[in-house]
Chains A and B, each alone.
Chain A
Amino acid sequence: MILTKAQYEEIAQCLVSVPPTRQSLRKLKQRFPSQSQATLLSIFSQEYQKHIKRTHAKHHTSEAIETYYQRYLSGVVKDGAAPVLLELANEMDYAPSLMARIILERFLQEHEETPPSKSVINSMLRDPSQIPDGVLANQVYQCIVNDCCYGPLVDCIKHAIGHEHEVLLRDLLLEKNLSFLDEDQLRAKGYDKTPDFILQVPVAVEGHIIHWIESKASFGDECSHHAYLHDQFWSYWNRSCSSYHVTMRKRMGNQQSY
C-alpha cells in the first residue's frame, strides 16, 4: 500500500516529542482514522526511534544517570505503588523501557559486587520477577508493558510481525506460482548473505525487474530505506544483481524501489 509523502509528513509532524504510550497511539488513531493502527504504530515507532537515536547520548551521561536514580529512589520512598519510573521517563522524554534499563543497571551496580552483564540485565527485563527488589520489579514491569516502541515485549511483537509477513509473502509467491529459494535454502547452498527470497526466474513489476525480495514488514520511510540499503541491500546487490525489491508494510508514493 502506498502513502503519499504529504500524508506521511503530516503524521510524522504529530509525533514530535510524544511519549510512546498507548494513550498517544489512541490520540493518533483519532486524528487519522483512515490509517490502520498497524501503519500508525509502525510510523510512530520509527519516528520515535529516530528521536531516541538523536537524544540517546544525553541520557547516558553519568550525571544524568545519577539524577534519574536519585529521583527514582526518592519517588518510591514516597509511594512505591505510584508509577514513578514511567512518569520519570515521560518527563525526561525518554523511552520507558530504556529508562527502566538505566535504573536497573544502576541499581544492580549498587547492590551486587560485580557489574551486571548485559545478558543478566536483558533476562531481568524479559522477566522482571527475577529482579531482587520487588518494588523495582513492579516499576520495571510497568515501564515495559506501557512502552509501545521499545522493550522486550515490543521486540517480540516486531519479530512476530516480521515472521508473519514472511509467511504471507511466501504464500503469495506460491499462489502466483513463482519459483523461489528461501533464506534457509540459500544458507544451505552456502550463500554468505541472504535476502528472504531469491526468485529463480525474475519477474517484472511496474517495469522494474525483480530478482529478490526482502520483506521488512515495517513502514518504508526514506531514512529506513537508506539504512537498509547500506546494511543489507548493497550486500545482496554485490552478490546477485542490480535490481531488488523490498516489500514494506507501506511505502511512500514517490519512493523508487530499485
Chain B
Amino acid sequence: MASPPGAEVCKRSGRCSGRSASGSPLPDRTGHLAAEPADPARVSSRQRQRLRLVALVYSAVMAENLVPNLFLELYFVLQLLTARRMVATGDSHPDPGPGAPDSVGSPLFRNVHDCVFFAVQVLERQLQVLSYLDKGTLKLLAENERLLCFSPALQSRLRAAYEGSVAKVSLAMPHSAQAVSFQPETDNRANFSSDRAFHTFKKQRDVFYEVLREWEDHHEEPGWDFEKGLGSRIRAMMGQLSAACSHSHFVRLFQKQLLQMCQDPGGAAGVVLGEAPDVLSMLGADKLGRLRRLQERLLAPQSSGGPCPPPTFPGCQGFFRDFILSASSFQFNQHLMDSLSLKIQELNGLTLPQPEPSEDEGESDVDWQVRQNGGERRQFAVVMLSLRLLAKFLGFVAFLPYRGPEPPPTRELQDSILALRSQVPPVLDVRALLQQGLQARRAVLTVPWLVEFLSLADHIVPLLDYYRSIFGLLLHLHRSLVLSEESEGGMCFLNKLLLLAVLGWLFQIPTVPEDLFFLEEGQADGLEVDIEASGRGLDSVPVVDQHLLYTCCPYIGELRKLLASWVSGSSGRSGGFVRKITPTTTTGLGARLPQTIQGLQAQLAQAFFHNQPPSLRRTVEFVAERIGSNCVKHIKATLVADLVCQAESLLQEQLVSPGQKEGDPAQLLESLCSQLCPHGAQALSQAREFCQKKSPGAVRALLPEETPAAVLSSAENIAVGLATEKACTWLSANITALIRREVKAAVSRALRVQGPEPAARGERRGCSRASSLAVCAAISPLPQPQPQPQHDSSSLCSCPHQDVLALAAGPRDPEEGVSPEHVEQLLGQLSQMLQCRQYLCPPAEQHLAKCSVELASLLVADQVPVLGPPAQHQLERGQARRFLNMLLSLWKDDFQVPVPLQLLLSPRNMGLLAATRPRQWDLLLFLLRELVEQGLMGRAQIEACLGSLREAQWPEDISKELATLFSLFLAEPHIPEPQLRARELVQPNRGTVLAQS
C-alpha cells in the first residue's frame, strides 16, 4: 500500500521542496511570508467530506502500520498543520472547472484551510500516539492556535494529556571522559607474553589517551583535521601492536573507553559547560537545572538532520570512528569485531529481572515499585544503549570494506557482487539472535541494536539472502506492532512505539532499497516465528520511557522543533526558536562556597567505585536493592501488621459499644485511618535502623575475604546509604497508602464477619496521595573530607655536610669557617639519624659514609677552617682526636653500609695532608691504628693501601715521610702507647727526626 501523495513530499528530503505530480499548489513553510490565517469556515462542505474520507483511510493505513515510518507521516501532518500559505508551482493547472470538482486528479489541498483541516482530522485519530510524546511537544500542540480553531475538543484533550504528562525529556548528552581504570586481573604483567609486550602496551595506553585528549581539545576548532592531526601517531602506535595478544588488550581498552564515553545512562551527573563543579554548585539545584537546559539548547544540534536522518556518529562516537579509519589496521578491525560480537552476545543474553508472578498482589507491587525507583528501567536502558553502540560499531567495521556512496551501477555488476558476497558468512549470526529474541519475547531489547547494526550496512547487504530474511522478519514484526491493540501480557505501548520508530527509521535509510517495504510483504512466511507465543517476556514489561525513546530516536524531536518554529515564526532560519533567556551570574565567585556535602559524598562514592573492580559496585548495588526491598517487606510485616491489629481492636471496641453499630463503613475507615496513619512516620526511622543493621553483613558476606578493611567499610556504608534511600523514598511516598489499604482490608474483613452489609461502598475512594514525609538524608558513607595535610619538614640529612666539605675545599671568604661546636653537632645529628634510620635509604647512607670519611681526612690533615680569633685558625689537636673518635664509633656501630675507609689513604686525601705546613702525621697514624684496633680495617688492607700510595709520584720529602709512616705502622703491631709515639712524630723539626730514624 502506498502512502498518500503528500507524504512523498517530505519523505526523502525532509522538507517540502518536492513536486507533486499534478503541479498543484504546494503548502509552503519557508518563513519569508507571513503565515496566512487558517479558517475552518473556508473549507467547503464538499471538500470537507472529501478530506475527511482521505483522512479516515490515511489514519487506518497508519494504524495498521502499512506505512514504513509512522513518525514521518506525523511529521508530514504537522507540516500541513503549520503550512504558512500555498504557493503556486510553475505549471499549475488552471482551476478545475465546476464540472469536475471531485475528479481524482484534482488537487486535494487547494489552500491552507484544506491543509489544516486535513491535519486536524488525522491528529484527532492519532491522539493516543500523540499523548505519549514528550511534554514539550504536547504543550506546543495544545497551544497551537490553528488546532484550537479547528478542533477545540482535540485541543482540550491534548491539554489534559499535557497536564498529566511527566515525560520531560532532556537530550543533552553530558560526557566526561574518564579513563578506564587499571584492573590488575586483566592488565598486569601476567596477562602478557613478555616484558616487552607489557611495556609496549603501557606506552600504547598513554598514547591512546594523549590522542583522545588532543581530540577533545581540538576537534571543535575549525580547520582541525583528525587524520592530519592524529593519523600518523595512531598508525605508529598500531604498528607497535605486533603480537596478537597485545591487539586484544588494546581492543579491550578501546571498547571499554567507547562504552564509558558514549553511552549516557539517564544523564548521570555530567559536566555542565566544562565548568568546575564547585563553581556550578554555587548556582543551586534550580538554577543548575536551568543552566543545563540552556546548555542543551545551545549545544544540542538544532536539527538532527530532519525526521529521518542518515546514521551518524555524534559527539565522542566520532572520535572512535575516526580512530578506526585512521588506524586502518586489518588486525585491529578483526580483533575489534571479535570483541564487539562477544560483548553483544553477552549483553543480549543478559537476564534482565522480570516481575515474578506473585502469590500476593501487594507484595509484588511493592517490589516492583521499589525496583523501579532503584533503576529497573535504568538497567534496561544501560544495557540497551550499550548494545546499540556496540552493534553500530560492529556494523561500521564489518561493512567498512564494502561501503561506498553509490549502489552498483548495473544489474550485471550487482549480480556478480551478489554471487561473491552471498558466500561470505555473516560477522555475527544476527538472524539467529533475532529469532531467539522474538521467541523469548525480548524484541524490545534485540531489535533496537539490530537496527543500528543494519543501518551501517552497504547497498548490497539488503539484497543478500541472509539479510533479506532478516528484513522479512523485521517487516513482519513491524506489521504486528499495532498500537491500538493492547492485550493482557502483550507488548507495552512505549515498547511498541520505540520499535516502530527504529524500524521506520531503518526502512528509510538510503542503503535500504526504497521499495523493500512494499515488495517484501508476505515473503517472511517461511521464516515466521511464533511471536504470539504465550508467556511473559521483556516485551510486556514497561521498560521503555520517553527519555529512552528520545535518546534512541532523537529525530522524533523534530516534531517538537517543527511546532516550535511555527510559534517563533522564524522557520526560515534553520528552525531555531527564540525564547527569553534570563541572564544569571554566579555571585561571589571570589569567595568559594563549600560544596554541598551530599554532592561531594556522591562524587566520592563514584570516585570510590571507579578504582575498584566492577564487581564491587554490582555487589553494593545489589545489596542495597535487596535490603531496601526487604526493608519495605519487613516494615509491612511488623509496623503495618501491628497497626492493623490496633485497627481491628479499635474496630472491635466501636462495634461492641452501643449506639455505634450502624456507622457508615467509609466513615469508620476514615476515622481509623486518621488515628493510625500518623504512626506511619515511624516507618522511616525503623527503615533506617533496618538498613543500618542488615546491609553491612550482606556486603561483608558477598565481598572477597581479602578486601581491605577500609574498602569494606566504605562499601558497607555506601550500601547502607543506598538501601536507606531506596526504602525511605518508597516509604515516604507510599506508607500512608499502604496502611490505608491494609486497614481497609481488615475493616472489610471484620465487617464481613460482623454482618451482611456490604463494606465495599467506600472502597472506590481509594488511597490518598502520599503524605509529605521528609525524605531522609543519606547517612554519610565515607570519611569526612580531610583538611590538606601540612607538615614541617625535619630534614635531617640534607646539606650541612656538603657545606662543611665545600668550606674545607675552598675557595672561601675570609669570614667563613666552621665552629667546633658545629662539627660536634653535625656528628651528633649524624649518629642520631643513623640510629633512628626512619628517613634513610641506602644511597643516602652510602653518600653519608663517604662524606664522613672525607671529613676524617680533613681532620687528619688539619684542613677544617675553624672560626675564631685569626691567630688560631686550626682545630685543637685534642678536639680533632675527639671528633675522630666520634667518627670511629659511627663507623663501627651506626653505619650499616660498607664505609669506604680506604679513601683515607687515597692519593687525593693524602695530598691534603701533604699540602699542610707544617705536616703532622700523628693523627693519621692514630686513626690507622684505631681502625685496626677496632676491627674496621685489617692490617693487611692498610698495608696494601700504603703500599700503593708509595708507588704514586710524590715530592722527595713526602715520599720519605710516607716511608717512615709505613715503617712505623709496620713496626708497632700492638700499639702500646699510640699517643707517645705520635708525639714523637710531632717534634718541631720533625724532618730531622724522621731523617735520623
Give me the interface of A with B, judged by CB distance under 8 Å.
Answer: 1, 22-23, 38, 41, 81, 83, 86-87, 127-129, 131, 134, 137-138, 141-142, 145-146, 148, 152-154, 156-157, 159-161, 163-165, 167-169, 172, 176-179, 189-193, 198, 200-207, 209, 211, 234-235, 237-243, 247, 249
Contacts and interface: CB of A to CB of B under 8 A. Distances in A.
Nearest to B278: A207
Contacts of A159: 841, 843-844
B607 A241 contact: yes
Contacts of A191: 182, 184, 188
A239 B844 contact: no
B607 A202 contact: yes
Nearest to A173: B789
A145 B209 contact: no
Q: Sorted from nearest, which 7 A-B pairs have the closest CB atoms?
A: A190-B188, A179-B710, A129-B906, A239-B182, A160-B844, A204-B785, A192-B202
Contacts of A192: 182, 187-189, 198-199, 201-202, 205
Contacts of A189: 184, 188
A86 B785 CA distance: 52
B838 interface: yes
Interface string B686-725: 0000000000000000000000111100100000000000
A204 B795 contact: no
B844 A163 contact: yes
A128 B782 CA distance: 56
A187 B550 CA distance: 46
B806 A146 contact: yes
B179 A201 contact: no
B179 A239 contact: yes
B361 interface: no
Contacts, number: 196
Contacts of B711: 179, 200-201
Interface residues of B, number: 79
A185 to B, nearest CB: 10
Contact of A242 (B178, B184, B208): B178
A37 B273 CA distance: 44
Interface in B186-233: 187-190, 198-199, 201-202, 205-206, 208-210, 213
Interface string B246-288: 0000000000000000000000000000000110000000000
A127 B850 contact: yes
Interface string B808-852: 011101000000000000000000000000111101100100110
A202 B213 CA distance: 24
Contact of B907 (A23, A86, A129, A169): A129
19 contacts: A129-B908, A129-B909, A157-B797, A157-B798, A160-B841, A160-B843, A163-B844, A164-B793, A172-B789, A191-B182, A193-B202, A203-B783, A206-B788, A209-B600, A234-B210, A238-B208, A240-B179, A240-B181, A242-B177
B786 A160 contact: no
Contacts of A239: 179, 181-182, 205
Interface of B: 176-179, 181-182, 184, 187-190, 198-199, 201-202, 205-206, 208-210, 213, 277-278, 592, 594-595, 600, 603-604, 607-608, 610-611, 708-711, 714, 782-783, 785-791, 793, 795-799, 802-803, 805-806, 809-811, 813, 838-841, 843-844, 847, 850-851, 900, 903, 906-909, 911, 915, 952
A168 B839 CA distance: 9
A27 to B, nearest CB: 12
Given A207-B594, A211-B611, 9 more contacts: A127-B850, A131-B908, A142-B810, A154-B802, A157-B797, A157-B798, A163-B844, A200-B710, A242-B178
Contacts of B201: 192
Contacts of A178: 710, 783, 786
B182 A156 contact: no
A141 to B, nearest CB: 6
Nearest to B906: A129
A78 to B, nearest CB: 15
B205 A238 contact: yes
Nearest to A213: B789
A203 B799 contact: no
Contacts of B783: 177-178, 201, 203
B708 A160 contact: no
Task: Choose among B182, B184, B189 the residue with the greatest number of A CB atoms under 10 Å from its CB.
Answer: B182
Contacts of A137: 907-908
Nearest to B594: A207
Contacts of A234: 206, 209-210, 213
A200 B714 CA distance: 10
A134 B908 contact: yes
Contacts of A176: 786, 789
A155 B177 CA distance: 38
B449 to A, nearest CB: 29
Nearest to B253: A238
Task: Choose among A148, A192, A198, A237 the residue with the greatest number of B CB atoms under 10 Å from its CB.
Answer: A192
Contacts of B909: 129
Given A176-B786, A201-B783, A141 B839 contact: no
A49 B351 CA distance: 61
Contacts of A129: 903, 906-909
Contact of A167 (B178, B205, B839): B839
A200 B209 contact: no
Contact of B795 (A38, A128, A131): A38
A147 to B, nearest CB: 9
A209 B799 contact: no
A156 B911 CA distance: 26
Nearest to B952: A134
Nearest to A249: B793
Contacts of A83: 810-811
B478 to A, nearest CB: 44
Contacts of A168: 791, 793
A169 B797 CA distance: 17
Given A138-B911, A164-B793, A209-B603, A241 B179 contact: yes
Contacts of A38: 793, 795, 798
Contacts of A148: 799, 802
A86 B841 contact: no
B903 A164 contact: no
Given A234-B209, A238-B179, A209 B604 contact: yes
B795 A164 contact: yes
Given A156-B844, A189-B184, A204-B600, A145 B806 contact: yes
B607 A211 contact: yes
A86 B811 contact: yes
B182 A153 contact: no
B895 to A, nearest CB: 15
Contact of B184 (A190, A200, A211): A190
B883 to A, nearest CB: 19
A243 B604 CA distance: 11
A194 B802 CA distance: 32
A127 B854 CA distance: 11
A160 B806 contact: no
Nearest to B593: A207
Given A134-B907, A157-B802, A203-B783, A23 B188 contact: no
A160 B797 contact: yes
B781 to A, nearest CB: 10
Contact of A243 (B198, B607, B799, B805): B607
B809 to A, nearest CB: 5
A148 B181 CA distance: 41
A102 B782 CA distance: 56
B850 to A, nearest CB: 7
Contacts of B908: 128-129, 131, 134, 137-138, 141
Contacts of A201: 608, 710-711, 714, 782-783
Contacts of B803: 22
Contacts of A153: 802, 847, 851
A106 B190 CA distance: 47
Contacts of B788: 205-206
B843 A202 contact: no
